[in-house]
Chains A and B, each alone.
Chain A
Amino acid sequence: MLEVKDLHVTVEGKEILKGLSLTINPGEVHAIMGPNGAGKSTLSAVIAGKDGYEVTSGTITFEGKDVLEMDIEERACAGLLLGFQYPVEIPGVKNIYLLKAALNAQRAARGEDEMPAPEFMKLVREKIKFMKMDSSFLQRAVNEGFSGGEKKRNEILQMLLLQPKLAMLDEIDSGLDIDAMKVVADGVNSLRDANRAILMVTHYQRLLDHIVPDVVHVLVDGRIVKTGGKDLALELESRGYEWVLEESAA
């Protein structure tokens, strides 16, 4: 589904990703762990198409298409969706407006008609309930004045509505209390199916207790240095990253 091959990425002249390769198949949940500054957010930002990252070599393909040739919105419409580590506040744009505009843009890209208002409303209501959010959030400006945890729930709400093929979730667990963690994890798990994949960036096993990954990668200094099953995360939690580095250097 997603194939990243030997990706080199430079930010402001500094090489951040140094030959990263990654393959994600439909139905899989991948977790990426690694120290601060390793390049985890950079990877998901480059896949989503954020400005300011120069791909000096390597390729990214999604369902056989060259992702680097696609516009940001094309990537989203193709089903590649990024849940932000730091969701941005958008004053003056109501949450409901964003949801409707995004959903209809994606439908239009698939050649579908705009969803009729009553149907849309029913769908939104169902999803917002699932995320245990108050419907007043729909009338508020996107993320404006939301608490850290509310912002993260809001990201997942968008995912539930837009049903991406590949959801990339960057530290979706940061800033969540125990109850919110459960709600967010339930949201993410509800996306899991044989045709969809999930890529999570996290520092904590706690999230992986709720959303059990199929594959765990360790990203250090711009490269994936180790890949394993869900037990690798447990090992990282108890032993830190040092041993992985030593092992890969050897």
Chain B
Amino acid sequence: MSDEQTFLDALSARGTRRGAEPTWIAARRQAGAARFEALGFPTRRDEAFKYTDVRAIARGDFTLAQDAQDLTPLSPATAAALTLPLEALRLTFVDGIFAPELSDLAALPSGVSVEPLSQALADNHEAVGGALGRLAGVDFSPFTALNTSFAEEGAVIRLAPGTVVEAPILVQFLSRANATPLMSHPRVLIEAGARSQATVIEHQVGEEEAANFSNLVSEVMLERGAILTHYKLQEASLKDLHVSSLHIDQGRDSRFTSFNLNLGGSLVRNDIVAELNAQGAEANYYGLFFAQGRQHVDNHTLVNHNAPHTFSNENYKGILGDRAHGVFNGKVIVRRESQKIEAHQSNANLLLSDRAEIDTKPELEIYADDVKCSHGATTGQLDEEAIFALRARGIDEETARGLLTLAFAGEVMEQVSLDAVAERVERTVAGKLPERFNLAGLVEVAAALDEE
């Protein structure tokens, strides 16, 4: 049996259990399945997967949590420990299944709607139907096609024009340790009306022994003047397999800021694609990937400057230890008629071991002539002189290396305004930061000095 057939069989088995669906959903599923079957899983011969081997996914035999017989329940204490400690509107999925008991939408302000996809479809499937799949059709990749064929759960977030949501909207995807490996194909849809403003966090996290496959597709539509900050905090277990694509469609004067923070997963592939469709649109991509052991993390980003006077700025930092492998591919395409655009891109990588590997490729395709563009990629090691200088003041070696590693990530982490997120990243990157190096104390000191 081919690798693809295993997935198609799981799909038809699910189809017989799922019950009746509106015809447009069924049609879309079919289109996804057909496209996936035609494309097959990508191989290293596909340019977009040149450095990423997805056989660990293709050869896997994953069960949908909806169909699994032997599910190990996730204890509330475990779920609580995994959840980011911040005040947020929260929607939780455990291996793709909505978990109302772990969700909290009580404080939902007016003008905002946050609901699980299943419920949005049940309530008014036509409203969702128009938007869903508009940005991420079945052609983007075999994984989006696969997602489209399976999708039945996820998050739908809608902001009415002018709505400003203070609390972040946290969509968490929990992955549990289970005897049978599970798969999920969640879908996120964000529609931000004109001049609305919000922060959305997609958080992948799970039990240490979890070994599941998640395949997320997110679509974000920003209308005129909308401002959205999007965090992806990927802290999956070191055995989890994770693929995601994030598609953004930007109207005039809209601003999209992405923090793509990857700490976990054994095999990870993220795609981000922003379409800057009208003047004044701005996309900022900040990324950090930290991989150890034999982790493989691949980030592919794309900005399409489809209109004049659009701006993009990208800064990705890779930190790779042991035999980890990182991939960064950042592409910017400027159309001939897109004059007066600005696009800047930088990728710096830190190799903590001789056997760690990075493949970095900035790609600029510029067809307009009046543009301001820059790009650069660097790869280096920790500065041993600096480590000596720190140790020569009494700081132990592990802490010195942690400090310098964090300093390397500084440019990106300084932009992270959610402390709960920054702390998770810093602890992972710098090792067990002893309490005495907690930044909080220093922030106080700094603030007090500034008051002088």
A interface vs B, CB < 8 Å? 48-51, 71-73, 75-77, 81-82, 84, 87-94, 96-98, 100-102, 104-106, 108-109, 114, 117-118, 120-121, 124-125, 135, 138-139, 141-142, 158, 162
Contacts and interface: CB of A to CB of B under 8 A. Distances in A.
Contacts of A114: 435-436, 441
Contacts of B404: 90, 92-93
Given A105-B395, A108-B436, A135-B452, A96 B445 contact: yes
7 contacts: A73-B395, A73-B396, A92-B410, A93-B404, A101-B395, A109-B394, A117-B444
A71 B390 CA distance: 13
Given A90-B407, A100-B442, A102-B394, 17 more contacts: A51-B388, A71-B397, A88-B388, A90-B404, A91-B407, A92-B410, A92-B411, A93-B390, A96-B442, A97-B403, A98-B390, A102-B395, A104-B436, A105-B396, A121-B445, A124-B445, A141-B407
B392 interface: yes
Nearest to A109: B394
A97 B410 CA distance: 13
Contact of B390 (A49, A90, A94): A90
A117 B441 contact: yes
Nearest to B406: A92
Contacts of B388: 50-51, 72, 88
A48 B393 CA distance: 10
A211 B386 CA distance: 29
Determine which residue in B393, B397, B445 has the highest number of CB atoms from chain A within 10 A of its CB, and name it: B393
A139 B446 contact: yes
Interface of B: 383-386, 388-397, 399, 403-404, 406-408, 410-411, 435-437, 441-442, 444-446, 448-449, 452
Contacts, number: 117
Contacts of B436: 101, 104-105, 108, 114
A114 B446 CA distance: 17
A84 B364 CA distance: 44
Contacts of B399: 101, 105
B445 A117 contact: yes
A174 to B, nearest CB: 18
A168 to B, nearest CB: 10
A73 B452 contact: no
Nearest to A104: B436
B393 A98 contact: yes
Contacts of A72: 388, 391-392, 397
A48 B392 contact: yes
A156 B64 CA distance: 64
Nearest to A90: B386
Contacts of A121: 445, 448-449
Contact of A88 (B385, B395, B406, B411): B385
A101 B403 contact: yes
Contacts of B437: 100-101, 104
Given A73-B391, A84-B389, A135-B449, A100 B396 contact: no
Contact of A100 (B385, B435, B441): B441
Nearest first, the 10 closest Cβ-Cβ pairs linking A and B are: A92-B407, A102-B393, A76-B394, A72-B391, A92-B410, A105-B394, A106-B394, A104-B436, A117-B441, A77-B394
A158 B446 CA distance: 17
Contact of A73 (B385, B394, B406, B448): B394
B389 A90 contact: yes
B446 A162 contact: no
Contacts of B441: 100, 114, 117, 120
A134 to B, nearest CB: 11
A162 B394 contact: yes
A242 to B, nearest CB: 35
A5 B395 CA distance: 28
Contacts of B452: 135
Contacts of A139: 446, 449
A162 B393 contact: yes
B403 A93 contact: yes
A51 B385 CA distance: 10
Contacts of A51: 384, 388
B394 A97 contact: no
Nearest to A76: B394
Determine which residue in B392, B407, B437, B445 has the highest number of CB atoms from chain A within 10 A of its CB, and name it: B392
A172 to B, nearest CB: 15
Contacts of A109: 394
